[in-house]
Amino acid sequence: MTDQALEPSPWILRLGNAFCESQALLTAAELDLFTVLRAGPATERELCERLGLSGRGVRDFLYLLVRLGLLTESGGRYRNSPDAARHLVAGEPGYLGGFLRGAKANLYPVWGGLTETLRTGRPRSAADSFAAMLDDPAEVRRYARMMDGVLRPLLKPLLDAVDWAAYPEVLDVGGCRGSLVAELVVRHSGMSGHVFDLPQLEPVFAEQMAEAGVAERVTFHAGDFFTDPLPPADLIVFGHVLHNWDARQRELLVRAAFDALRPGGALLVHDRMLDPADPRVDNLLASLTMALVTEAGGEYPVEELAELARAAGFAEVRRQPLDANETLVLCDRAA
């Protein structure tokens, strides 16, 4: 055996240890460290006082965040890096902290069970866990913030991708707090928006619409989209919805959307869809996440959706990238 064969592979060791770096970022987001630093640079001691930290490990933690490019340090004082200031400070347009907090609470723990899910085919997060979450208002709020965090970086490309003015009534199925339709009705004075989601989400939706000043123009429809008909609309959005279900359930939802659309309307779907010939690592990770947290969900090929849409009666199916990993598919219903 050669000496080279005995040497550890640096990239394999780094990959095996990557969960530590991830946890450092998630913990900093949970502590709201970056929002605290918005007021200006702070020392290690000042941060311990503001964040309620004991002091043990804090210096190494802060130095690690510096090495990861999230903080800078000068003269013993720490400040946010430009990327952290843009994406990790609460209230900023590009804020991702809601998603990161949700990832730490909900996604990070279940990834430890990937071996069992691959062996058994069963998720680590059971359906009754989601039902229990819906009965806890605090957990519902955390879930809603996480969904907003997932949507936030996609809002601008979504708003630019479609001629929204051509659709007077837009329905966001599984739209949670209504962030997308709120933005749409602000931009388009003649548009009315609708959100269809589970009844437990209506309180957080109402708060969001009141804050956005659009409560009179956006309507919440409570229901279960597998048992209740969708309200009629000119454009229906399935954003990060279809990947929660298996192919048969996706077919049912696509047909339900076709039935609810007015002639000349369209179905807009966006997910981290898979390209079987060249799947992206991020999308494969997203698909495995769905295996860990849903009974039968997973990312799916664009062509599968196109076939379902044509079988449901849609006249034309168009696709385009929404960002580096996300795909948008627009399915037109004949006039």
Q: Residue 204 has which token pair?
A: 């957080």
The β-bridge relationship of strands 77-80 and 42-43 is antiparallel
- Candidate list 194, 221, 243, 270, residue with the active-site label: 243
Whole-Å CA distances, 120 to 128, 244, 248, 292: 18, 19, 21, 11
Going along 67-132, which residue ranges are E strands? Answer: 71-74, 77-80
> Does 240 qualify as catalytic in the annotation?
no
Q: Which amino acid is at 234?
A: D
| SS3 of residue 33 by DSSP | helix
The DSSP call for residue 261 is E
How close are the terminal C-alpha atoms of the chain, in Å? 71
CA 54, CA 39: separation in Å to the nearest integer?
Answer: 22
- CA 286 to CA 256: how far, in whole Å? 25
* Residue 309 backbone phi and psi in degrees, to 5: -65, -45
Strands 169-173 and 42-43: unpaired
- CA 90, CA 34: separation in Å to the nearest integer? 8
Nearest to 203 by CA among 150, 146, 143: 143
- Give the residue numbers annotated as catalytic, written as ranges: 243
